[in-house]
Structure 1
Amino acid sequence: MVELKGLLADLRDESAEIDALVSGLSAEGWATPTPAPGWTVAHQVVHLAWTDQRALLAVRDPAAFQAELAEVVKGSRERMERLVDAAAEDGARAHHSQLLYEWRQGRDDLADALEKVPDGTKLPWYGPPMSAASMATARLMETWAHGYDIADALGVRRVPTARIRHVAHIGVRTRDFAYVVRELTPPAEPFRVELTGPSGEVWTWGPADAGQRVTGPALDFCLLATQRTNRADTTLKAVGPDADRWLDIAQAFAGPPGDGREKGSRERSEP
């Protein structure tokens, strides 16, 4: 297990890398369309800031977050999507300097708040409740994923770092959630997942003798689990029908299942 302090340091580093992509942009740069339909670079940053604020509310006032969540879950998948899109649309109208300031302030406040969460505390969220470490991992995953959207929009090819291990970890841990959110029954048996990180190190999850297995580049898996690539554009391999099915529906993020990306939307990563 990675200690919370190390997770938060990685979260800050991941945020700083994305910050460097946008901090020098002109107004036109902030208005650049990203792969997410209807979302510009500004929308992406606003979404990160908004989600950080929701996480901060979950830490500071769990009851208030639960009340807010109760209103959201009364609606349909479309209502949740409208909430997210409306927050991004409203926020993106502000000047980019204000957007950047709010994102920086919010992510710093959240990291400070998470560091003070007592051990054993479960924080409410749009998916299953999470520990402070899991919340930090989820925020790193979202920052990484939306950072890819921003980089794609700006024509920047990001170099993966060891931080994607956190993204892969939450992608593996949310296996059952990917089924439940689609009203499917998760497989009873654990899977073996073996992913090759950027340095060539192999990261593993699950029993070595599991019959259902997933192997391949960690970057491919992270892009797939965050729905930033189409499965056909990866070199991931599945052994067993359940593992094969999982790669079709893998989802590391909370909320309703997305539509994913079309085939050919990204180049294959290096094996």
Structure 2
Amino acid sequence: MVDLTALLADLAAESEQLDALVAPLPPAGWNRPTPAPGWTIAYQIAHLAWTDHVAQLAATDAEAFYASVTATPDPSRLVDDGAESFLAPPAALLARWRAGRSALAAALAAAPAGEKLPWYGTGMSPASMVTARLMETWAHGEDVADALGVRRTPTGRLRHVAHLGFRTLGHSFAAHGRAVPTEPVRVEVAGPDGDTWTFGPAGAADRVTGPALDFCLLVTQRRHRADLALIATGPVADEWLDVAQAFAGPPGGGREPAAARSEAAT
């Protein structure tokens, strides 16, 4: 059984770590651009606040959630329009995000364990929803940290992100219009405390190895594989590193290799 209380505590800790980065910023600091094209720090927090809001709707009022989806005139703009609708002056935005994530935690804690909550493209258990929110909070927190020139210390909470990244292997291929592989893949990554996290059958011929942080940066598309110390063995594993995405929806644009960014800047 998944310990939902422990999962929620990890989500709260991940949110508080990001909160500590943005709370001291002067108003102008919220306008600093992040690596996501067109997204400032304020936009990143507004996105998290909006997603927490729709996740709370999914956990408490399915009809309202579906109404929020169908009310979008341009589905391709769903994420951007959602974030823009939650933009506000920094103090108000920070308060909105704090209140929203607290309300979401309470809603997920009260959701029946076996219930499937509606979401974009698939239903999710309360535990899966918490894991997805933690993944998004960490990933967008990475964008904020990059914008501020801050190197965050990895924690054991990354195991949730790594596990979700492994579980979404099939979705990663399908989202990119590729056949979902039938061959299993073994993932063996080194956690920040020196332990090894493993996913998939031990005897799989296809394997991905390396630091857990690098695997999480890859599956959230925060770094290009060329900039990470990940080793893919086998054709399925190798192709996976090109398309991996732990988030729902259409294929993400990913990030360019650091070398390409350096050339563009010169």
Normalising by the residue count of structure 1, what TM-score does the alignment of the two structures yield? 0.92
Provide the residue aligned with 2:180 in structure 1.
Answer: 186
Instruction: Please tell me the residue identity of whatever aligns with 1:19.
Output: D
1:177 to 146, 168, 171: 171
> Which of 150, 159, 174 is the equivalent residue of 1:165?
159
Unaligned 5+ runs, structure 1:
267-271
Q: In structure 1, what is the equivalent of residue 264 of structure 2?
A: none
Distance in 2 of aligned mates of 1:209 and 1:18: 39
Question: Displacement of 1:83 after TM fit?
Answer: 2.2
Matching residue's letter, 1:85: D
Match for residue 42 of structure 1? 42
The alignment status of 1:89 with 2:89, answered yes or no, reads: no
Identity of aligned residues (%): 60
**Amino acid across the alignment from 1:228:** R
Shift of 1:86: 2.3
Corresponding residue for 1:209?
Answer: 203
Specify the code of the residue in structure 1 equivalent to 2:179: T
Aligned to 1:222: 216
Aligned to 1:100: 94
Indicate the residue corresponding to 2:22 in structure 1.
22
SS of the counterpart of 2:258?
A: coil
Letter of the 1:87 partner, please give it: G
Counterpart selection for 2:124 from 126, 130, 138: 130
What is aligned with 1:269? none
Q: What is the CA-CA distance between 1:189 and the residue it aligns to?
A: 2.5
What is the deviation of 1:81? 4.0
Deviations 1:138-189 (A, max 9, x none): 0000000000000111111101000000010110111111112222221113
- How many residues are treated as equivalent by the alignment? 260
What is the CA RMSD across the aligned residues, in angstroms?
1.6
Does the 8 Å contact 2:59/2:108 carry over to 1? yes
- By how many angstroms is 1:88 displaced? 2.3
Write the distance in 2 (CA, Å) between the matches of 1:26 and 1:65: 34
**What corresponds to 1:60 in structure 2?**
60
Distance 2:230 2:36 in 1: 23
Q: Secondary structure of 2:209's match?
A: strand
Query: 1:80: Cα distance to partner?
Result: 3.7
What TM-score results when the alignment is normalised by the length of structure 2? 0.93
- Determine the C-alpha separation between the residues in 2 that align with 1:160 and 1:34: 20
Could you tell me which residue of structure 1 aligns to residue 115 of structure 2? 121
Helix, strand or coil at the partner of 1:215: strand
